[in-house]
Amino acid sequence: MTEKQELNRDLSSRQMQMIALGGTIGVGLFMGSAATIKWTGPSVLLAYALAGLVLYIVMRALGEMLYLDPSTGSFAKYATEYIHPLAGYLTAWSNVFQYLVVGISEVIAVGQYLNYWWPNLPGWISGTVVVVTLCIANLISVKAYGELEFWFALIKVLTIIFMLILGAMVILLGLGNNWHPLGFSNLWSHGGFFTGGFKGFIFALSIVIASYQGIEVIGITAGEAKNPQVTVVKSIKSIVARILLFYIGSIFIIVTIYPWNQLAKVGSPFVETFSRVGITAAAAIINFVLVTAAMSGCNSGIFSSSRMLYTLGLKGEISRKFTRLSRQGVPLLPVLTISIGILIGMILNEVLPHLIKGSSNVFVLVYSSSVLPGMVPWFVILFSQLKFRKINKDKLGNHPFKLPLYPISSYFAIIALVITLIFMFFNPETRVSVFVGVIFLAIMSLIFFITRPDKNK
């Protein structure tokens, strides 16, 4: 252990891009995104495109600030500097809460997917092995974490590319359909393109925006990137385009091949598409991809939330012990704390249903409650960038990565997120999770003002 407070800059642009991809492309996409499609039908494509535009604005705003100040836990730091210490505090804890919850849910998911091959394998055994393995990888070095995440993400990316190619051949050439091209009629033949009207479209938009959460992890990796100005700009430029291609491309293939109102019967469209063209091992292949996708989500969770605990330690919000680094330049205590937290959550998920009747519903609420805290970094990035522009006018003359159409683009993204949040209150399926998220933010705000009365000024 060392008192050194400089993290090692060992992450390459290649690793940073895959970390952001891995944090965003999750299990939900491979299982079919049925929740979004049922609200609005084929027009879900427009929801993904609109959410993608907001995503692009958020990431360009983040990139603009990172170019001048590439630091660990960046957006929490920016929130403190450009908004208010409370904003930085809530951003850091929202990120810790979000990724702790995501880590627990992903570890539980791994156990369920492994039951495909080993039906009698207890979830707590597979979960413990996964958490310990990922914890060790995070402790070895940030380079080891980055390499592991690179390969996890690459498996997901290759699967999506393969699915896009096969899907295009089914639609245009009739592969797997006796060489009779399916065409594009499923996009409008089952109740039209906008099947849920404006209300259904906005409801779907709220779920779609939540599915993009996690890409901002690239801002947390900046403090450990080689040559951060170059790698951050390169990563953000390529990552947004790739995510939009993978998400919109996959959803386009799904709603074109399958009638949107029959997707509930399909299960995983990825499995069905592979099976349709004669790949008999489709279920086993996709199940393997799901295991790696869930491990990738947990891996990103350990990394991201541990760096936020490190940032909180630097700011004096928690014990300075959280800033101590190992000889490999890794924040030892934050990584161990998050890993133990995920283990405890996984064990409680196994034990509580046997002790308390109906306790499984509590976990569903906790998992879904991470959606609102997950939106906090996006709001913080957008508001911070508005103030950042005013304070750093003299440094922006030769800045190569400024947000286009500022400030119109910034305000557009903020308004879009606010509207989405309002409709989440009206949607019965997202209302409770938003309330739980609000309660979490209220409790953390109260703790902030009680424990740091000087920050109230």
Beta carbons within 10 angstroms of residue 368's beta carbon: 19
What's the one-letter identity of residue 167?
A: G
- Average pLDDT of the residues in 169-176: 87
Report the distance separating Cα 430 and Cα 315, nearest Å. 34
Neighbour-count burial for 56-87, b at 16+ CB within 10 Å, e otherwise: bbbbbbbbbbbbebbbbbbbbbbbbbbbebbb
Report the distance separating Cα 298 and Cα 306, nearest Å. 12
Answer for the pair 440, 97: CB distance below 8 angstroms, yes or no.
yes
Answer for the pair 205, 55: CB distance below 8 angstroms, yes or no.
no
Report the distance separating Cα 42 and Cα 365, nearest Å. 29
Report the distance separating Cα 338 and Cα 343, nearest Å. 9
- Average pLDDT of the residues in 61-69: 85
What would the pLDDT profile of 80-132 be if each residue is shown by its tens digit? 889 998 998 898 898 888 888 888 888 888 887 888 888 888 888 888 999 99
Backbone angles phi, psi at 2, to 5 degrees: -135, 155
pLDDT of 175 higher than 50: yes
Report the distance separating Cα 89 and Cα 260, nearest Å. 42
Q: What is the pLDDT of residue 409?
A: 95
In the numeric block, which tokens belong to residue 110? Answer: 């791994």
**What is the separation of C-alpha 415 from the centre of its chain, rounded to a whole number of angstroms?**
21
Answer for the pair 217, 435: CB distance below 8 angstroms, yes or no.
no
The DSSP annotation for 156-220 comes to HHHHHHHHHHHHHHHHHH-TTTTT----SGGGTTTT-S-TTHHHHHHHHHHHHHHHTTTTTHHHH
Report the distance separating Cα 28 and Cα 22, nearest Å. 12
- Average pLDDT of the residues in 386-406: 85
What would the pLDDT profile of 324-354 be if each residue is shown by its tens digit? 888 878 889 999 999 999 998 888 877 777 7
Answer for the pair 30, 163: CB distance below 8 angstroms, yes or no.
no
pLDDT of 310 higher than 70: yes
Q: What is the pLDDT of residue 225?
A: 65
pLDDT of 251 higher than 60: yes
Answer for the pair 260, 190: CB distance below 8 angstroms, yes or no.
yes
Question: Which of the four CATH numbers 2.30.29.30, 3.40.50.2020, 1.20.1740.10, 3.40.640.10 does domain 13-456 have?
Answer: 1.20.1740.10
Report the distance separating Cα 269 and Cα 263, nearest Å. 8
In the numeric block, which tokens belong to residue 316? Answer: 């004096």
pLDDT of 415 higher than 90: yes
Among 127-141, 173-187, 234-248, the least confident range = 234-248
Among 248-257, 319-328, 332-341, 359-368, the least confident range = 359-368
Q: What is the pLDDT of residue 358?
A: 58
Report the distance separating Cα 115 and Cα 354, nearest Å. 20
Q: What is the pLDDT of residue 359?
A: 54
Could you say which DSSP state residue 356 is in?
S
In the numeric block, which tokens belong to residue 114? Answer: 């492994």
Report the distance separating Cα 244 and Cα 159, nearest Å. 16
Question: What burial class does residue 109 get, using C-beta atoms within 10 Å of its C-beta: 0-12 exposed, 13-18 middle, 19+ buried?
Answer: buried
How many CA atoms lie within 13 Å of 61's alpha carbon, on the beta-carbon side?
A: 32
Q: What is the pLDDT of residue 77?
A: 84
Q: What is the pLDDT of residue 443?
A: 93
Report the distance separating Cα 260 and Cα 240, nearest Å. 26
- Average pLDDT of the residues in 33-53: 83
pLDDT of 294 higher than 50: yes
Q: What is the pLDDT of residue 32?
A: 47
Residue % of the chain over a pLDDT of 70: 85
In the numeric block, which tokens belong to residue 282? Answer: 């489709």
Q: What is the pLDDT of residue 4?
A: 47
pLDDT of 167 higher than 90: no
Nearby residues of 268 by Cβ (< 8 Å), 6 or more positions away: 30, 31, 32, 286
Model confidence at 5, in pLDDT bands (50, 70, 90)?
low
Where is pLDDT greater, at 380 or 258?
380
- Average pLDDT of the residues in 187-195: 83
